[in-house]
Amino acid sequence: MASHPKHFYSPEEYLALERKASYRSEYYAGEIFAMSGASREHNLIAANVTTSLNTQLEDRDCEVYVSDMRVRTPDNLLYTYPDVVVTYGESQFDDTAVYTLLNPTLIVEVLSPSTERHDRTKKFADYRKITSLREYILVAQEECRITQYVRQASDTWLFQEASSPEETLHLVSIDCDLALERVYRKVRFSTQGEKPS
């Protein structure tokens, strides 16, 4: 039996479909991928990060967006919905409907078993094409661990990791702190190991 050729979509076709869809999909290099629902832990972590950043940034020229804000890479190859996005200064969009953000300063992804490898490798490589992006944060949901990448002047990325509930990561790009105890508040890990209080 002959297989059907794969259909590749233009960014314009994807956006037209996305505007009418009842669920969110991501776009990469002509392919569209439906997004699945997130676990309890994933949702708690994303909400905790958002709450912490919103509180610290409420009187500053920053905006914090949750997972419904679409981000586009400059080459139009990737349209995606990060878990948390922060802009510093005026947010820029590629359309009047302000659904596709162009200038994230900080992106936070909450890792899941099915996305962790992709978020750490290919997606990070694509995010690095966004010149406004200064910091990339990966938050594990199956253990207490946050990975931080900070863009340096030489366009290299400085790596740091925290894995204890007593630790706090300083977010250089927006001058905020992420206390791991707060990030993992009410999260129950399925594996054995240290749990936040």
Rounded Cα gap, residues 103 and 85, in angstroms: 10
Q: What is the pLDDT of residues 41-50, one digit of tens each?
A: 999 999 999 9
Beta bridge partner(s), residue 70: 100
Q: What is the pLDDT of residues 170-180, one digit of tens each?
A: 999 999 999 99
Q: Is 124 helix (H, G, I), strand (E, B) or coil?
A: helix
Cα three-residue angle 28-131-48, rounded to 5 degrees: 75
91 touches 101 (CB < 8 A): yes
How many residues are present in the chain? 197
Tokens of 53: 């950043």
Rounded Cα gap, residues 8 and 95, in angstroms: 22
% of the chain at pLDDT higher than 70: 92
Q: What average pLDDT does range 156-173 have in this prediction?
A: 96
User: Which residues, in sequence order, are CB contacts of 68 under 8 Å at separation 6+?
Assistant: 24, 81
Q: What average pLDDT does range 17-39 have in this prediction?
A: 89
* The predicted structure's pLDDT at residue 101: 95
Residue 163 has pLDDT above 50, yes or no: yes
Give the DSSP H/E element, type plus range, for residue 129. none
**φ/ψ (deg, to 5) at 162:** -130, 140
Residue 7 has pLDDT above 80, yes or no: yes
Residue 2 has pLDDT above 70, yes or no: no
* The predicted structure's pLDDT at residue 3: 65
Q: What is the pLDDT of residues 54-81, one digit of tens each?
A: 999 999 999 999 999 999 999 989 999 9
Q: What is the pLDDT of residues 79-122, one digit of tens each?
A: 999 999 999 999 999 877 768 999 999 999 999 888 888 899 99
Beta bridge partner(s), residue 32: 27
The full set of domain ranges for the chain reads 39-183
Token match 């007593």: residue? 166
Q: What is the mean pLDDT of the chain?
A: 91
* The predicted structure's pLDDT at residue 191: 57
* The predicted structure's pLDDT at residue 197: 45
129 touches 155 (CB < 8 A): no
Q: pTM of this prediction?
A: 0.91
Q: Is 182 left (phi over 0), alpha (psi -120 to 50) or beta?
A: alpha
Rounded Cα gap, residues 138 and 141, in angstroms: 10
Domain 39-183: which topology?
Answer: tt1808, chain A (3.90.1570)
